[in-house]
Structure formats: structure tokens, C-alpha cells
Amino acid sequence: MKLIGSYTSPFVRKISVLLLEKGIPFDFINEMPYNAENGVAQYNPLGKVPALLTDDGECWYDSPIIAQYIELLNVAPAMVPVEPKAALKMRQLESLADGIMDAGLVAVRELARPVAQQSQDEQLRQREKISRSLDMLEHYIADGTLKADEVNLATIAVACAIGYLNFRRIAPGWCATRPHLVKLVETLFQRESFARTEPPKA
Ligand SMILES: N[C@@H](CCC(=O)N[C@@H](CS)C(=O)NCC(=O)O)C(=O)O
């Protein structure tokens, strides 16, 4: 199995962590989707990473679909509950975490534009999405919907999203008012799967 990705993508990190936690062997094919010359489109016509190429030649994208595919392999530990509604809730939490990654990515891309072309309004819009979503996740931990001390699809996705915010220094004060999320990331970041997938220092 081959994972096509880049070392800085939080979506790719989510999939790498899932594979590492389950002990599923994979080769990492490093592709930079934002480089002019890249081979991503041969795996995903959208030109985005991650994509997962199976030994049977099937190619899966995007990351929530890859996560579902990995779960279908039935390799312990399970990362999603069996009960359908609980599974759907967990995937919604994944979706919320993915949305934080999306907003973070837009904010980073915006900042990479020449200063004169950068939009303050767009920056603010994305930061508000991130802030609201972090508040919602904090609330979900407080009410027990999201279990901060468990290793599952939701907690992994949340830790990858916050890892990306830290890496790109977006929303640097996020931890000041969200103690439950701090505990979640502290727990997850101690795991070998997270240590092995830390984004490279710039
Ligand atoms: N919804 C997608 C998002 C993936 C995504 O946006 N990946 C970024 C890297 S972090 C990418 O490949 N961007 C290239 C582009 O937009 O052209 C997923 O969950 O896999």
C-alpha cells in the first residue's frame, strides 16, 4: 500500500497516524501538490493529497474516504464505533477537524500571496471559522461527546488539525481558553505515531 502525500499536510498526517496506530505497513510517496511539477494528479484528479494506492491498484481519496477504507480492513484497534449513529457522530467530529485544517490552509495560502493582494477580510473569516470550531470541540469534550483520552478517528483528526495550527502559527493563543483541547493534544502528541509524523521544521 502506498500513501501519496506531503510531510506538512495535516490530512496526510491523519492517515499516516491511522496506519501507524493499526500497524499497517505502507510506503510513503512524497509529492508536493503546490509545486509546479508534481505527480499527484495521476492518483487524484483533484491534485490533492492524501491519496492511497492499494496493492490491488485501487486508488482512494480524499482523507475521510481513505479513513473509511482503512477501517474496512478490520485491523485492530477500531478507530470508529460499530453503532451507526455513534460512527456518524465520530465522522462529523472528523469533518469539523478537517474544516479547521481547510481554514488553516486557506489562511496560510492567503499569507503566501504578495502583501498587496492579501485580504484582511479573508484572513478574519478563516480565523473565525477556526475559533468557532475549536470552541465547539472544547464543548464536545466537556459534554462527553468527544473523549479526550481516547485514540480514535475524531481525536486523531483534532490533534492533527491543532498540530497544523501550531506548525503554521495560526491562532497561537488557542490553548489559553480551551483546557480540554490542551489535554487532548498533550495526550495524543505523546504517542509514537504523532512523534513520527511531526511536520518538518521550516
Ligand atoms: N478534503 C481533502 C483536502 C486535502 C487537501 O486540501 N490537501 C492539500 C494539502 S494539505 C492539497 O493537496 N492541496 C493541493 C491543492 O489544493 O491543489 C482531504 O480530506 O483529503
- 180 alpha carbon to ligand 1 midpoint, in Å? 28
* pLDDT at residue 159, as a whole number: 98
Long-range contacts of 40-49 (CB under 8 A, 24+ apart): 40/4, 43/4, 44/4, 49/4, 49/5, 49/6, 49/9, 49/11, 49/12
Q: How far from the centroid of its chain's Cα atoms is residue 130's Cα?
A: 14
pLDDT score at 201: 80
| Cis status, amide bond into 149, omega within 30 of 0 | no
Q: Could you tell me the pLDDT band of residue 202, with boundaries at 50, 70 and 90?
A: low
Best residue among 15, 30, 31, 49 to mutate for probing ligand 1, ranked by most atoms within 8 Å of CB: 49
> Which pLDDT tens digit goes with each residue over 41-76?
999 999 999 999 999 999 999 999 999 999 999 999
Write the residue with the smallest CA distance to atom 14 of ligand 1: 48
Mean pLDDT over each residue of the chain, to the nearest integer: 97
Residue of the CA atom closest to atom 10 of ligand 1: 9
Distance, CA of 104 to CA of 114 (rounded, Å): 18
The string over 87-99, giving b where at least 16 C-beta atoms fall within 10 Å of a residue's C-beta and e elsewhere, is: bebbbebbebbbe
User: What mean pLDDT comes out for the span 86-114?
Assistant: 97
pLDDT over 90 percentage in the chain: 98
CB under 6 Å to ligand 1: residues?
9, 11, 33-34, 47-50, 62-64, 98, 105
pLDDT tens for residues 70-88? 999 999 999 999 999 999 9
Nearest CA to ligand 1 atom 1: 62
The amino acid at residue 161 is A
Q: pLDDT tens digits for 133-181?
A: 999 999 999 999 999 999 999 999 999 999 999 999 999 999 999 999 9
- Cell (9 digits) for 40: 499527484
CA distance 27 to 46: 21
What digits encode the pLDDT tens for the residues 13-48? 999 999 999 999 999 999 999 999 999 999 999 999
Please give the average per-residue pLDDT across 110-120, as a whole number. 94
> What number does the ligand 1 atom closest to the CA of 47 have?
17
Angstrom distance (rounded) from CA 153 to CA 80: 6
C-alpha 146 – ligand 1 centre gap (Å)? 25
